[in-house]
A and B are shown apart, each in its own frame.
Chain A
């Protein structure tokens, strides 16, 4: 199924769910559980708890089925909305299990780095593979799952503040505050990466 078909099918199923269609929940679950599992499995490899992804996608789909009105079709496609929600559920789960609860950290306001300099293809490939020496280093530099996720989103080219705010669980704040906090998080992560990984190292790794 291509993206356009998926979008159309999602809109139709979502509207049917809102209208109280009796089979819509089953159809939505069958459509999205495997898609979300594939998405999270690709993003979070070698998890210590192999069932964490199952739990996250089930939580996410169940929450959506019970409160479909929370999804705003004007802001994102249903698949993107569910991807963000499942990613957030997984991060929360991982944080509860083995990482200290994270809080929103404000950056120290030092100078900014441009995304172009950081956004180099070899780094993306290496990190996404999660088995390279680069990934070992990244995972040490950014031990928090939420930071890793922000890094992945930056590499994905995600630009919407709302998506980062969702991951950081600050979407209750004003748009302006969200933008400030998200920018600081992104800058902090870029700074860490640039401070510890030299472009020459990446070239050697290719």
Chain B
């Protein structure tokens, strides 16, 4: 690995910070992951078992496309470049993408789904109530017959 001056490290870190607003970079994934997990930089380094310099380098890589057939290959390439466990990296990217996907579902769709879920629940409850009544009725009838 080439020697890098303190000034360059600071610049790389600032660049990574700027790119954390761009979803096409891993910097964005890292920031989202930290927000989701309420994690400091140091905690993130510990979780990924990575040095601060390598974390900056990781942030400056392009985000692998999890829908692409090359996803595994891209994960492997980055993992080798920054000496990180590929499984940890893939898991982190998938977690961030899943939660982002949920967050991006329009409110209307969520409400519609909830409404339909609620109606389903109510219908099921009503059915169950009717069944229970039926069962009780049957049970009572059977009891009446037995005693009568």
Contact = CB atoms under 8 A, between A and B. Distances in A.
Size band of the A side of the interface? 10 to 19
A58 B25 CA distance: 16
Given A22-B78, A30-B4, A66-B22, A57 B11 contact: yes
A33 B15 contact: yes
B81 interface: yes
A101 interface: no
A168 interface: no
Size band of the B side of the interface? 20 to 34
Contacts, number: 58
A37 B14 CA distance: 14
Given A22-B74, A26-B57, A58 B64 contact: no
B67 interface: no
Nearest to A65: B19
A29 B4 CA distance: 12
Interface of B is mostly: helix
Which of A26, A29, A34 has the most C-beta atoms of chain B within 10 angstroms of its own C-beta? Answer: A26
B5 A34 contact: yes
A2 B8 CA distance: 20
B57 A30 contact: yes
A179 interface: no
A25 B61 contact: yes
A136 interface: no
A165 interface: no
Interface of B: 2, 4-5, 7-8, 10-12, 14-15, 18-19, 22, 25, 57-58, 60-64, 74, 77-78, 81
